[in-house]
Structure 1
Amino acid sequence: MPPAQAPFQPGGIAPGLSAYFDLVRFGAAAVVFLDHLCPVLFGTPTSLFPGHDAVIVFFVLSGYVVAMVVDRRETSPTAFATARLARLWSVMVPALLLGLALDVGMKGELELAAVVASLLNLAFLAQLWLLDIAPPHNPPMWSLSYEAWYYLVLGLWQFGRGHRWWLAAGAVCLAGPKIVVLLPVWTLGVLLYRWRPRLEPRLAAALLALSVLLYVGAYVIDLPNQARTFLSAVTSGRSWRLGASTAFLADYLLGLVIALNFIAVDNLPRLGRLLAAMRPFCAGLASCTLSLYLFHKPLLTLLHEGLGIGPVATFLAIIALIPLLALATEHQRHLWRNALASPLRRLMPIPR
């Protein structure tokens, strides 16, 4: 007899799975943080922390969560666009301004190229086709250009009604191959939310163990790097045009492993109850995720390179500053939603 499905919460998923997603979200951001800071501050190997893998985790999780909110909360074009933009811009704008300020402080002037790079990232245009433009002191921001286009594709599909095929296909064509080649990874999260298979707990436990073992194996052999090497060989070195997507063959496999992991956790009632008890703590960690992701590199530049603070003090200072920045940015996204709602209402609706 299949296990009873945990009741849906207003947000759309059971409390235990919600807490697990919060932990995964924060953990992925922490891996990116360690991937960028530890080699600079402590000289660790650059392959020690799998930052790229963490971004793929973000993509699958994002597809799942965005499909959920479209299904349950953001049920109109305006609500969807407002919430998505507020989520991103509430942290992106301050992070971009900090990067520009650092650039001025280090170079003594505000360069046009830095302003253009920041604006392109703010408009989610910095990764289209052959473009690969990082804003000053914030290379991790590349993934948000990908995410924003995935939001757009899903929004056009969801709200475009009779025109949705053409609208979504048009967005895919505009995005270019770099973004499109990882769209299946993000879409996997969407499909996972809408499918949500039910399993016996024993089978789910075995699936959880399998997902962990598969990932450990991929990590040990450095699967993404092998995928990049293979693609470079078969394309005679032209795969560089895919930018951050050059490991997409490995990313597809990693996406499947992540999906297996999420399915397993969703079907383990005991684990779900344990995680549900930790939900407030997990939610608190997750509420700092985007700030951790977007501010750690500018803060590294400011504290370590700019002010000459030592490695350990820099590391600890960044950890201490991130929650404060989160309070001033992503915790205030309701203000952004209020500010964006009226202009977006005038620009929409999407054709029906």
Structure 2
Amino acid sequence: MKNTSKNVHLEVIRGMAAFLVVIGHLINKFPEISKHKNHFTNLIGNWATESVLIFFVLSGIVIHSSVEAKHKSAKQFLIDRFIRINPILFIAVMVSILLEIYMFNNVPSTSMIIGNLIPVSTMQGCLLDVFWNSNPVIWSLSFEMFFYVIFALFVIRKDHIHNRNVAIWFLLGLFCIYFYYHPISESIILNYLLLMLAYSPVWIIGFYIWKYRNTIRTNYTLAMLALCCLPIVSRAHFTDNYYDPIRNVLFALCSVPLFLFLVQHKKGQHFTNFLSNYLGIFLISITYLLSLLFIFNDFTYPLTSRILYICLPIAILFIVPFKKLIYRFYTFILLKPFKYIGLLSYSIYLFHNPILIILAKLTAIPLLLRIAIFVVITFGIAFLLEKKLQPALNRLLKPKPIH
């Protein structure tokens, strides 16, 4: 890791998250695999939602770092985000509409189409539903666009970032978690805003990771311990709601030492503040202990699964001594392929599900061949969109700098 830049590591994490989303959907979509699901495949296949939370944290980090490196007006920030998100999303929505009509005999309403294009569609259907049959992953873009709009309107200032407004937004998001579980109105607009705000702390935690990247102590051991604690946090049922904002926030907090390790500069750092020295340890401890308490008493999981989740952090005892070996494995095996997947991840994320749905129906073709076809088509489409279409759109739509 030492010889690579901080942004490369973030792309690798993005690539790994996209890979887990794809694997999860592949396991569920191909009947030959889904009918043989077991605890092991569930462990791998159920990480799609957690991977989206990783995307949210990464987004908070990347947006803060990019605005800090090159300050933009709120208007220009939103224009840049629109150019990045919506053209490729438009193509994905058109493909989804065709699948809905010709594969599922379902003609989406005009409002549903517009809701997925903007996007404001969610799994919960507060305003509008996602394309459940063909491309439900669009739900996460509704949250991303909300984060961008709030960030632009209330955080970006002419010559600085308004940090106080970020803190207010974060506290408001934590406050709205309560009302997410105890709605005070049947208004679909109000419930939509409550949902968006309840998820906002996850994104803002990424924002703060970048802000305090060089003032909070972390190291390899803490980063690996945080990584080993993420599964138990993501599997703890703090409420009966599958889309649990409490778990999402705790998951993001537990990931802080890992992301800090990936982005912070090591040279010349001095950690004299007690909080900065031990914040990472505190975050890992509190999230792990809370999760342990809930998962230990959760009998919906088999005993072996509960023991596995609880004991996984002990793996740190076996990971730490092999630091150099892990670095080499990361550098020579994981770095390049997952960095490349990370660079294509947005298009892979939006188009893998429709491709899987089509190939899942072609049961006359051997499974391994369908998987190979899926990989080729998905990467081919992602390459064309990210490396050809997106640069062309940037040249066409973004204003040229005035010299």
Q: Report the Cα distance in structure 2 between the residues aligned to 1:87 and 1:213, rounded to whole angstroms.
A: 33
Q: Which consecutive unaligned segments of at least 5 residues does structure 1 have?
A: 1-5, 7-13, 233-238, 343-352
Residue by residue over 1:4-59, the C-alpha shift from the partner in whole angstroms, topping out at 9 and shown as x without a partner, is xx9xxxxxxx9432111111101101111111111332123473231111111111
Match in the other structure for 1:333: 390
Q: Report the Cα distance in structure 1 between the residues aligned to 2:130 and 2:86, rounded to whole angstroms.
A: 16
TM-score (norm 1): 0.74
Q: Report the Cα distance in structure 2 between the residues aligned to 1:279 and 1:300, rounded to whole angstroms.
A: 26
SS in 1 for 2:5: helix
Tell me, yes or no, if the aligned pair for 1:182 and 1:248 is still in contact at 8 Å. Answer: yes
Give aligned-pair identity as a percent.
19
Match in the other structure for 2:195: 178
Number of residues paired by the alignment?
306
Tell me, yes or no, if the aligned pair for 1:204 and 1:265 is still in contact at 8 Å. Answer: no
SS in 1 for 2:121: coil
Match in the other structure for 1:121: 116
- Cα 1:79–1:280 shift into 2, 3 Å: farther
- Cα distance, 1:152 vs structure 2: 0.8
Q: Report the Cα distance in structure 2 between the residues aligned to 1:74 and 1:311, rounded to whole angstroms.
A: 49
Tell me, yes or no, if the aligned pair for 1:23 and 1:282 is still in contact at 8 Å. Answer: yes
Q: Report the Cα distance in structure 1 between the residues aligned to 2:157 and 2:17, rounded to whole angstroms.
A: 33
Tell me, yes or no, if the aligned pair for 2:84 and 2:390 is still in contact at 8 Å. Answer: yes
- Confirm whether residue 204 of structure 1 aligns to residue 201 of structure 2: no
1:58 equivalent among 52, 55, 58? 55
- Cα distance, 1:196 vs structure 2: 1.0
Match in the other structure for 1:150: 147
SS in 2 for 1:196: coil
Letter paired with 1:183: S
Tell me the C-alpha RMSD between the 2 structures: 3.6
Letter paired with 1:130: C
Answer with 204-213 or 184-193: which moved more.
204-213
Tell me, yes or no, if the aligned pair for 1:60 and 1:187 is still in contact at 8 Å. Answer: yes
- Confirm whether residue 214 of structure 1 aligns to residue 229 of structure 2: yes
Letter paired with 1:16: S
2:204 equivalent among 166, 171, 187? 187
Q: In the TM superposition, what are the counterparts of 1:230-241 in structure 2 within 5 Å?
A: 231-232=239-240
Q: Report the Cα distance in structure 2 between the residues aligned to 1:23 and 1:142, rounded to whole angstroms.
A: 23
Answer with 177-186 or 116-125: which moved more.
116-125
- Cα distance, 1:70 vs structure 2: 1.5
Match in the other structure for 1:48: 43
- Cα distance, 1:283 vs structure 2: 3.9
- Cα distance, 1:259 vs structure 2: 1.3
TM-score (norm 2): 0.66
Tell me, yes or no, if the aligned pair for 2:209 and 2:256 is still in contact at 8 Å. Answer: yes
- Confirm whether residue 36 of structure 1 aligns to residue 31 of structure 2: no
Q: Report the Cα distance in structure 1 between the residues aligned to 2:365 and 2:127, rounded to whole angstroms.
A: 34
Q: Report the Cα distance in structure 1 between the residues aligned to 2:86 and 2:364, rounded to whole angstroms.
A: 30
Letter paired with 1:39: N
- Cα distance, 1:341 vs structure 2: 4.4
- Cα 1:40–1:112 shift into 2, 3 Å: closer
2:12 equivalent among 3, 8, 23? 23
Match in the other structure for 1:298: 354
Match in the other structure for 1:111: 107
Q: In the TM superposition, what are the counterparts of 1:264-283 in structure 2 within 5 Å?
A: 264-267=261-264, 282-283=338-339
Q: Report the Cα distance in structure 2 between the residues aligned to 1:119 and 1:89, rounded to whole angstroms.
A: 12
SS in 2 for 1:176: helix
Answer with 323-332 or 125-134: which moved more.
125-134
- Cα distance, 1:276 vs structure 2: 8.2
Match in the other structure for 2:269: none
Q: Report the Cα distance in structure 1 between the residues aligned to 2:206 and 2:384, rounded to whole angstroms.
A: 30
- Confirm whether residue 85 of structure 1 aligns to residue 82 of structure 2: yes
Tell me, yes or no, if the aligned pair for 1:211 and 1:261 is still in contact at 8 Å. Answer: yes
SS in 1 for 2:225: helix
- Cα distance, 1:187 vs structure 2: 0.3
- Cα distance, 1:303 vs structure 2: 1.9
- Cα 1:210–1:279 shift into 2, 3 Å: closer
